[in-house]
Structure 1
Amino acid sequence: MPRAATDVMQSILFSAVLDAIAALKTASGNLPNNLLRQVQAIHNNVTFADLPEELQAAISASTRTAFTQLLKEGYSVAPRDAVAAPTRTQPRHGEVVDRGARGPRGPRPTGGARPGGSGGPPRGPRPAGGGPGGGKPRGPRKP
């Protein structure tokens, strides 16, 4: 039975970390002060070239082993450009395209409380000017 990708990656990362720790111990000459100095030299901006040679070799070997193990488990490893993206066919003329659920369709409520609204009358076209008579309110006419 094939193992899940999560299990494969967990075992790969676990063995890579153990190999890196062993390489750091070897690079320090098994001296605790040197080991502590080398561990403290590792930070967010450290580059591959800044690491001890033994650790560089362990990382390279772990990377090769990881790809080999992924391929052996049946997973595909390829550059992003080499993998063909799935193509979507264009809908034919007149074909209905489902763009996902938009909620239930049905009659709109005619009064009462609206979901997310103020509970007032349903909105519709409003007269120009915003007032009930449409237009600006006027004062008494001058003779």
Structure 2
Amino acid sequence: MQRPANEVMQSVVFSAVLDAMQALKKASGGLPNNMVRDIQAIHANVTFADLPKDVQDAIVESTRAAFTMLLKEGYAVGPKQQMQQSRPLDRVPERDRRPRPPGDGPRRSPRPPRGDGPGRPRGDGPGRPRGDGPGKPGGGPSGPGGPNRPRRKPKGKPRLS
């Protein structure tokens, strides 16, 4: 089973740090003062050439081991241009963009026309004046909902007038 890239990189970095620490111990020759001096010489602007030879060798070996581990786990490692060309195909196929022959009907049903229609009372549409028309409270003989909508029965006990 393939491990997540985050987990693989974490193990690569962890082993590289451990290898570098072992190399610092080896470079100091077992003398604590030399090891402290070597550690204090490492800072944000240090270059590869400034490091002790044993640490340089440990970094080179850790880099090789990291690439080997990534390849073993199934991750592709290579130059950017080469990796972009050989990308795996998408799971969702791209839709057909060729022009369709004339007479071939639409793939989807067309949208209903906007404006006044059987389900749209006057005055409810966008950009229309909101006057007293049918569909507004007190705006017509049939009440709210327009002329085609049946009246609802009132809830509760009937009132005696």
For each residue in 1:87-107, what CA deviation from the matched residue of structure 2 results, as whole angstroms up to 9, or x when unmatched? x99x778xxxxxxxxxxxx94
Higher relative contact order (CA closer than 8 Å, sequence separation 6+) = 1
**CA deviation after TM superposition for structure 1 residue 82, in Å:** 1.5
Instruction: Rate the CA distance shift 1:107–1:3 in 2: closer, same or farther, 3 A.
Output: farther
Q: Which runs of 5+ in 2 are unaligned?
A: 88-93, 100-124, 131-161
1:77 match: secondary structure = coil
Question: Who is 1:28 aligned against?
Answer: 28
**CA deviation after TM superposition for structure 1 residue 81, in Å:** 2.1
Give the total of aligned pairs: 100
Question: Who is 1:45 aligned against?
Answer: 45
Separation in structure 2 between the aligned mates of residue 107 and residue 53 of structure 1, nearest angstrom: 77
Identical pairs, percent = 59
Separation in structure 2 between the aligned mates of residue 75 and residue 4 of structure 1, nearest angstrom: 10
Query: What TM-score comes out, normalization by structure 2 length?
Result: 0.54
Question: Who is 2:61 aligned against?
Answer: 61
Amino acid at match of 2:54: E
Alignment of 1:10-25 (within 5 A): 10-25=10-25
Separation in structure 2 between the aligned mates of residue 107 and residue 11 of structure 1, nearest angstrom: 60
Runs (4+) off by over 6 Å: none
Query: What TM-score comes out, normalization by structure 1 length?
Result: 0.60
Instruction: Rate the CA distance shift 1:75–1:33 in 2: closer, same or farther, 3 A.
Output: same
Question: Who is 2:77 aligned against?
Answer: 77
Amino acid at match of 1:49: A
Instruction: Rate the CA distance shift 1:107–1:61 in 2: closer, same or farther, 3 A.
Output: farther
For each residue in 1:97-135, what CA deviation from the matched residue of structure 2 results, as whole angstroms up to 9, or x when unmatched? xxxxxxxxx947x89xxxxxxxxxxxxxxxxxxxxxxxx
